[in-house]
Amino acid sequence: MEDNSRIIRTEYSEEMQKSFINYAMSVIIARALPDIRDGLKPVQRRTLYDMYELGIRYDRPYRKCARIVGDTMGKYHPHGDSSIYDALVVMSQDFKKGLPVIDGHGNFGNIEGDGAAAMRYTEARLQKVTQDAFLADLDKDVVDFMPNFDETEKEPMVLPVRISNFLVNGSEGIAVGMATSTPPHNLGEVIDATKAYMLDENISTRELMRYLKGPDFPTGGIVTNKDELLEIYETGVGKIKIRGKVELEKAKGGKTNVVITEIPYPMIGMNIAKFLSDVAALAETKKTNDIVDISNQSSKEGIRIVIELRKDADAENFVNLLYKKTRLEDTFGVNMLAICNGRPEIMGLKAILKASVDFQYEIATRKYTNLLAREMERKEIQEGLIKACNVIDLIIEILRGSKDRAMAKACLTEGKIDGIRFKSRESKIMATQLMFTEKQANAILEMRLYKLIGLEIEALINEHEETMANIFRYEDILERRESMAQVIINDLEALKREYGRKRRTAIENVEEAVYKEKAVEEIEVMFLMDRFGYAKTVDMPTYERNREAADSENRFVFSCKNTGKVCLFTDTGQLHTIKVADLPFGKFRDKGVPIDNVSNFDSQKESIVFLTSQTELNLRQVIFVTAASMIKIVDGGEFDVSKRTVAATKLSDGDKVVGVAAVTDQRNIVLQTAGGYFLRFPIEEIPEKKKGAIGVRGMKLAEGDVVEAVYFTKNGVENVIEYKGKKFVLNSIKPSKRDTKGTKVRK
């Protein structure tokens, strides 16, 4: 019999909802987002703490990264070695972090996107700043510890970071339903802004930005929207526009070199290669003819991308082209999201500094409370030893007369003299008056004889005075907020003096780049498209030399301006426009480009019915014929549109366009149906309509029959077609009226 006692019945949707929320909260709180207090994600915090525990300090030898990763994973972070190593690598890269906290030895990747070597080859240790500003005072009970995943170790819930690391190093992470993206900032400016907030907690964001100008990316560059930064730092959300730094250098032969010495922060990694390919594409697509050569001369000394321009090029205009068409000008999306008081919160600059300062006060309070307790304990022992030195003869007499340690201790702490032999009655009376504390008694019993030397006693008195001074100082710090604030400020100023550096990123208001395209000399060209859909243009002399081959080998042949457009009508009633400049211009035997690649036309879903130049259309009227025999004339000017794709005509359900033609010197139109009916009537009978109209019926169709082809005839000219394998003269069809049945042709 099946035991159902352990089966829990529950609503599936409720279980899914509960499980997903638990998963989402785990990712948000314990994986992807940094804590506002130390600016670290759990994997970063655990890696740094493990290195601290392993003793891999800045003044010790490097250790293999594999050892660090394995130890971190085994003790604190059981989520895979790659996530730990990736975090370790990023914390050591000076082109990603404003203040690298790990000193890497070996191949730790580069700014161009090459990854770090395997962890078994690389080594690392902590930076000095990490020990001074991130891990100092961990032994003074300044932060809470919690059990690790298997409760065999303890790990800090947060590191006692003395600076706003969330601002200094920035942060990027994707959680569930939210993401954080904070740019790095200058250490000195962050410290100055922190001090300003501590001195005036009512300070505005605008005033804080007198100290913290804006982001300071390790790659330098130029922030171009200075006026928008105030709103970004007030709300914690926005977009920072950043450009690379460009210098113009004179080269041989009067040429100019455009040299990129700093790149936008989002370009680091594989985007440098993408930038180079984008610049090359500008030359290949004829967006510019100024480029002679491109070379990436970057090295350990820094970025240096050189673009050599031709002699008469407008260098400044070319630089504007780079800003407009490549990632030399980019945006950094700001979303300053962090875990604050156990929940994710988007924070402005003032809120971030408040959280950091509150944490500093908390650390300082716990630190000096702990130090005060230690000094009070030292004071107690020192006072006991000084008092003991004054009655040292009595204490020696007690020690010599006692049978064991317990008897001597009882006499020192409680004045009990039972069982102790004294030399004199005075000593016995004095012994009953001793009232040392337990700690003082232990110190006396453990005191060595050399402490009785005069100089040692004097040193003990000096130590006691120093201890009393420390107690006075610590009590002052704990009792007066101004004193604690000054201590924190002094620590911050010391960090700024030792680790501060000049700003790398310039903050400016820059007008949007304007690229002036050079006027192209307008010439007449011939458009050629073969039956496979490959199109190109050639100059008129080339066409004239190859006229016979061009007309026989191509489906569409017509003249157009190189500055104009080509109009492509499809059977679905769409009009696709194509810039002639986007088509390859060259030799007659060049293959050309698929028409799909330079337009929105999709050969898998629609077919070409008619192709002509927009200039020609503007001068003409256009006839439309559909399979359902709907017909109309539209003024060609209606197709002079700027959009790449528009509806050229309206169709009924299931209908399609079978014929489009520009009206020139045609006199009659001939409609041919799939059933073999032909109808010939004057073009004058076709009414002019708007392109949005369906039109009128051109021919009465038998049930199931459709218009299959459209022809045109001219007066006095014999028009011959091939029909069912035989030649057929269209002029032989008896002229009729529109909207009649037509003539059945049997061949």
Active site residues: 121
Helices 271-284, 315-325: inter-axial angle, 10-degree rounding: 120
* β-strand partners of 631: 625, 696
The token duo for 619 is: 């001068």
Q: CA–CA separation, 303 vs 315, rounded Å?
A: 20
Q: Which residue type, as a one-letter code, is found at position 710?
A: V
Reduced DSSP (H G I as helix, E B as strand, rest coil) percent helix, strand, coil of the chain, to 5: 40, 25, 35
The residue whose two tokens read 């990123």 is 505
Best CA proximity match to 356, nearest among 593, 744, 38, 691:
38
- Give the integer Cα–Cα distance in Å for 554 and 37: 71
The DSSP bridge partners found for residue 537 are: 527, 585
SS3 244: coil
* Cα–Cα distance, 314 to 296 (Å, whole number): 22
Rounded Cα distance between 273 and 293, Å, is 15
d(CA 527, CA 540): 10
Which residue's structure tokens are 């105030």?
230
The set of residues, in sequence order, having a beta carbon less than 8 Å from that of 25 and lying 6+ positions away, is: none
* Nearest C-alpha neighbor of 234 from the set 204, 198, 212: 204
List the structure tokens of 672: 């041919």
Mention every residue, 6+ apart, whose C-beta is less than 8 A from residue 32: 41, 173, 174, 175, 180
What DSSP assignment string belongs to 659-688?
EEEE-SS--EEEEEETTSEEEEEEGGGSPB
